[in-house]
Amino acid sequence: MLYSALINVMVKAARRAGRSLKRDLGEIEHLQVSLKGPANFVSLADKRAEEMLYTDLAKARPGYGFLGEEGGSREGSDKSHTWIVDPLDGTTNFLHGIPQFAISIGLAREGTVIAGVIYNPANDELYIAERGKGAFLNDQRIRVAGRRKLNECVIACGLPHIGRGDHEQSRREMTEIQDKVAGLRRFGAASLDMAFVAAGRLDGYWERNLQAWDIAAGQIMVREAGGIVSGIEGNDNALTTGHVVCGNEFVQAELVKILKPL
Ligand code: IPD
Ligand code: CA
Ligand code: CA
């Protein structure tokens, strides 16, 4: 598969940081048995991955701004381009040795995401999307699923962690959706939830209170795979609200109809 120079830069960075995370995942299995568990180790792994991504991306595209979950925002001389990066999405999974986590890299130009790469080093699944050029999983073109009956759909959600978000509201949402779908899932890595929607594995996904780095790459992935991404209102911008609803045209609209009043 021939990708643009931009995508090649993103993939190279994701793969290098991915090798580091994969090595660290191996260590975690040993640390699991210790009393304190691997929490400190994971936080170092996370920061190390972000620094690797920053180094590689800044070297290839000097001047671009960088927004990372760990290091916050670093301004560049080029005000129109910003990398939006989660070096480790699915930290809780990683911490427990569950191989559902990813590096997520989006590139925004004038506030619009124009390219995205999501890479799970545990199973070597690499998702790529570039505006107008489609979405790919390990070099194969991907499309959102075509189901139009909610009761045949598998839908994923996010659940707020302890001390975060509105747990009551999230239970109301689950109750409503659970009643209407073939299966409800919670995988624990927002970028991969969106990548799974793009690949047609999941029919839809929603979650509240996310950050730009959880969503940026996933948003272009779903759109380039023919799907719709919005906030809970249906026509708002998930990147700015932090609330995400996505799926094919039909599923996204159905989910919005159910979730909006809750
Ligand atoms: C989290 C994951 C999770 C979602 C959380 C996010 P992190 O990101 O994407 O699936 O439910 O809200 O914060 O903290 O693992 O990078
Ligand atoms: Ca995240
Ligand atoms: Ca993270």
159, 173, 214, 219: residue to mutate for ligand 1 pocket, most atoms within 8 A of CB = 214
* Cα 90 to ligand 3 centroid, rounded to whole Å: 6
Residue 194 has pLDDT above 90, yes or no: yes
- Looking from the CA of residue 187, the nearest atom of ligand 1 is 10
| Mean pLDDT value of segment 52-71 | 97
| Cα Rg of the chain (Å, integer) | 18
Greater confidence (31 vs 82) lies with: 82
In short, whether 153's Cβ falls inside 6 Å of ligand 1 is: no
* Cα 122 to ligand 3 centroid, rounded to whole Å: 16
Q: Is the pTM of this model over 0.85?
A: yes
Return the sign of the alpha-carbon dihedral for residues 175, 249, 152, 187: negative
Tens of pLDDT, residue by residue over 143-190, are 999 999 999 999 999 999 999 999 999 999 999 999 999 999 999 999
Tens of pLDDT, residue by residue over 83-134, are 999 999 999 999 999 999 999 999 999 999 999 999 999 999 999 999 999 9
Confidence of residue 193 (pLDDT cuts 50, 70, 90): very high
- Looking from the CA of residue 188, the nearest atom of ligand 1 is 10
Confidence of residue 28 (pLDDT cuts 50, 70, 90): confident
Structural domain spans, the chain = 5-141, 150-259
| Mean pLDDT value of segment 213-222 | 98
* Cα 190 to ligand 2 centroid, rounded to whole Å: 6
Residue tagged 């040993």 (tokens): 30
Q: How many other β-carbons are positioned within 10 Å of the β-carbon of residue 120?
A: 24
Q: How far is CA 19 from the centre of its chain?
A: 19
Confidence of residue 35 (pLDDT cuts 50, 70, 90): low
- Looking from the CA of residue 69, the nearest atom of ligand 1 is 16
pLDDT of residue 133: 98
Residue 36 has pLDDT above 80, yes or no: no
* Cα 214 to ligand 3 centroid, rounded to whole Å: 8
Class of domain 150-259: alpha beta
CATH number of the domain at 5-141, please? 3.30.540.10
Average pLDDT of the chain?
A: 96
* Cα 10 to ligand 1 centroid, rounded to whole Å: 21
pLDDT of residue 31: 77
Nearest residue to 104 (alpha-carbon basis) of 38, 41, 198 = 198
- The DSSP string of 125-177 is EEEEEETTTEEEETTEE--------GGG-EEEE--PPTTSS-HHHHHHHHHHH
In short, whether 210's Cβ falls inside 6 Å of ligand 1 is: yes
Q: How far apart are CA 186 and CA 189, in angstroms?
A: 9
